[in-house]
Amino acid sequence: MKSSKLALSRRIRTTPFESRVLEQGPKVFSVYNHMTLASVYRSPQEDYEHLCTHVQLWDVSVERQVEVVGPDALALVELITPRDISRCAIGQCVYAPLVDEHGGIVNDPIILRLADDRFWISIADSDVLLWLKGITYGSGMEVKVFEPDVSPLAVQGPRADELMAEVVGPEVREIKFFRFIETEIVGTPVYLARSGWSGQGGFEIYLQDSSKGIELWDAIWKKGQAFNIRAGCPNLIERLESGLMSYGSDMTLENNPIECGLERFLNLDKPAEYMSREALDKIIRNGVDKLKVNLMIEGGPQSAPRATFDVVSQDGIKVGIVTSLAYSKKHAANLAFAVVTTEFATPGCSLKVVTEKGERVAIVKDRNWK
């Protein structure tokens, strides 16, 4: 793998910021929604320390938008999620798992309400557009469903407020968590939200014209010099510490939102019709046989598996798998997300993880690593 490269054909879409990203020389890329996403610039640890101290500019164009607009827009969005979207105000975003008629998680997007009858579904890595087009055709609902020319650019880190106050104005400090405003940067209209895939705070700028990507990047980059800005990307260590699960790694269509611990983002008795109601009712009645847990694995740094590591009980029986893992200096331990048999999912429970370097003790922790 040492010198292997990824073939960047037209199938793997470019982003409006890609030339600037490449200038900053990320060491590792991945592909997400058929588009490039940097995953390491210097090293996961160096990137992490910078993100937690300064401010970073992240090309997260891969968070593609699926726009739903028309008289039945709310009904369609309600249909695909057990979260109550009628309570989402214009100018608000909500984290809302999309769940199919069998209870399987299709995606875990943020949904933005742009108008009474207009939404953006800001998706994780799965083909929501095709699924939604099928549902729309089958239901005969009066809506348009398409992917607009929208690319989010994230500004993350403790100095994000200071930087964006310079770029846009002091009003950005008033934007509440998971709320957005409409404004202009470099003369182009953007939505500016207080959100982003880190626990360090910051904003996401929704650019609506790819041709303005470089100008937007450069404007923030220039003002960012005073704040020690660097190009960055979602960081594995930080997102484990912050408890952010990644669709495709920590949950798939094979998982339901109950076993993934997403209940707090669901309103199972919401008034609107939704396609997963019966399946989720049944899952709750019968109980789940496995649960997502946070695992703290003792010992020195352990590299993350591409596939999985097995989780075994004290008597050596396989009880689950690790789905993400990174070494945290802050906790002086490896942090992992895992899915384990329900009886072993209680904080304090002692298990073992079979790593490349042998078996290691692993303790089940709560959501905040306590």
211: DSSP letter: G
- CA gap 338, 203 in Å, rounded: 29
Build a one-symbol-per-residue string for 58-97: x at contacts with ligand THG by CB under 6 A, - elsewhere: -----x------------------------------xx--
How near is the Cβ of 98 to ligand THG at its closest, in Å? 11
Question: Closest Cα partner for 273 from 11, 19, 21, 82?
Answer: 82
- CA gap 278, 177 in Å, rounded: 32
Toward ligand THG, which CB reaches closer, 94 or 319? 94
Contact 131, 106 (CB under 8 A): yes
Contact 275, 79 (CB under 8 A): yes
Contact 343, 351 (CB under 8 A): no
Toward ligand THG, which CB reaches closer, 233 or 295? 233
Toward ligand THG, which CB reaches closer, 63 or 238? 63
Q: Tell me the window of 76-84, 103-111, 129-137, 157-165 that interacts with ligand THG (CB under 6 A).
A: 103-111
- The DSSP element (H or E) to which 303 belongs, if any, is none
How near is the Cβ of 244 to ligand THG at its closest, in Å? 5
Toward ligand THG, which CB reaches closer, 59 or 63? 63
- CA gap 85, 310 in Å, rounded: 38
Toward ligand THG, which CB reaches closer, 84 or 204? 204
Q: How many helices (H) and strands (E) does the chain have?
A: 8, 21
Alpha carbon 52 to chain centroid, angstroms: 18
What residues between 232 and 291 interact with ligand THG by CB under 6 A? 244
Q: Tell me the window of 104-112, 212-220, 286-294, 319-327 that interacts with ligand THG (CB under 6 A).
A: 104-112
Residue from 72, 78, 204, 241 that binds ligand THG (CB under 6 A)? 204
Which residue in the block uniquely carries the two structure tokens 């300064």? Answer: 54
> Is residue 109 part of the contact set for ligand THG (CB under 6 A)?
yes
What residues between 288 and 327 interact with ligand THG by CB under 6 A? none
User: Rounded to whole angstroms, what are the CA distances from 352 to 108, 236, 258?
Assistant: 29, 22, 24
- CA gap 223, 164 in Å, rounded: 9
What residues between 119 and 158 interact with ligand THG by CB under 6 A? 122-124, 152
How near is the Cβ of 60 to ligand THG at its closest, in Å? 7
Q: Which residues contact ligand THG (rule: CB under 6 A)?
A: 63, 94-95, 108-110, 122-124, 152, 178, 195-197, 204, 244
